[in-house]
Amino acid sequence: MLALVAILLFPLLFLLGTGVTRILYGNKGKGEFFWEDRFLAGIILLIGLAEGAHLGTLARGQSISVFKNLFLIAILAVTAFCVAILAVGRILQKRKGLAGTVPAKNAFYPDWKGMDKTEKVMTAVILAVFLGLLSRILFFSAVYQGQDLTLETVMSFLHTGKLYEVNPMTGAFYEQGVPSRLKLLCLSTLYAGICSFTKAGAETVVWHFVPAITLAACYFAYGSLARALFPKVRKQRLQFLLLVSILLAVGDYAYGMESFGLLHVGFQGTSIRAVVLMPYLISLCLRRKWKLAVCVVAAEACVTWTLYGLGAGVMVILIFAISLGCRKALAGRREGSAWKNS
């Protein structure tokens, strides 16, 4: 069952992501998003649905079965809505005589068939490194268990059938409660829901399945960043991804490194933020896609501990906003000086 979920997950995320970009930006954004964006936007939406179901579960008795039902209903409803949005858009295109038109070749629709030998070699190396990292995650349990109770928390949810009923370390009921900010994070509930739905073991889902999805999302995120940095030169994008792949392969030497988090605690919210949300957010900011950038900030608040919901994503957006403001101010001064001199 878990394998079936993994197979269906990728097309589902692409569908949801396509619907999200169409809703936020309409038809004018159709040619402005990479195919990586659709997958990553689908992940952002899935996190949002999980958070909504998680909050609904907390409000209705903290039952895992309630979360599972709410989450599945939300996925089905949003999927149907996205299909309807895309179908209506296709019908309107046909009525306007736009269907069947082929977009011009540009940075967003590269000609992948025109690779030279160097580009093919780099692509093969990137794929080989990815498969090597994936095999490490799937077939080796090199999980860092210090300073983390995710697996124990998920198992406590499954054992009691409720959220935050007992202390995952002692099995005893909480005497002083759980911090409210911690209870708002949805990852442990999502993992428990996946276990309940697929009947898979908590260790398989938390230590292998989720980190494998995180690894794929990491490559999509850095692929999107590469396209934003080098929109017209495919070789430079491949060089960037090759460098990222090498750093991921050799950079797991210490706790706190992005590679360490990806390969050894890829299920943690901090790891997802570091290798997926942050590179994708930078890509969006470089392209001025602020609506979707705000969605990434909201997703960060759902998966990791932040200060009143304000985390690293807010700082990234502020840095970009300040730099753009300074750039416009300097440009305005230069134009004013040129006008006076004339």
More confident residue, 326 or 98: 326
Dihedral through CA 296, CA 72, CA 15, CA 115, nearest 10?
Answer: 80
Whole-number pLDDT of residue 116: 81
The amino acid at residue 67 is: F
Q: Contact at 8 Å (CB) between 234 and 119? A: yes
Q: What is the mean pLDDT of residues 317-342?
A: 75
**Residue 13 or 102, more confident:** 13
Give the model confidence (pLDDT) of 177-217 as tens digits. Answer: 777 777 889 999 999 999 999 999 999 999 999 999 999 99
What does the pLDDT read at residue 105? 44
The model's pLDDT over 227-244, given as tens digits with 9 standing for 90+, comes to: 999 988 889 999 999 999
Q: Name the residue with higher pLDDT: 95 or 57.
A: 57
pLDDT exceeding 70 applies to what percent of the chain?
Answer: 89
Residues 42-84: tens digit of each pLDDT: 999 999 999 999 999 988 777 899 999 999 999 999 999 999 9
Among the ranges given (106-110, 122-126, 223-227), the one the predictor scored with the smallest mean pLDDT? 106-110
* Backbone torsions φ then ψ of 283, nearest 5 degrees: -60, -45
pLDDT of residue 102: 44
User: Which amino acid would we find at residue 216?
Assistant: A
Q: How far apart are CA 154 and CA 311, in angstroms?
A: 24
Report the C-alpha gap between 30 and 37 in whole angstroms: 11
Mean pLDDT over all residues of the chain? 86
- Give the residue ranges of DSSP H helices in the chain: 2-25, 35-59, 64-95, 117-139, 150-160, 180-183, 187-198, 202-204, 210-229, 234-250, 258-264, 269-272, 278-286, 290-303, 312-341
Q: Where are the domains of the chain?
A: 2-336
pLDDT higher for 264 or 255? 264
Tokens 């900011």 sit on residue: 285
Write down the pLDDT at residue 241. Answer: 95
> Cα separation of 178 and 156, whole Å?
14
Buried b (16+ CB within 10 A) or exposed e, 104-113: eeeebebeee
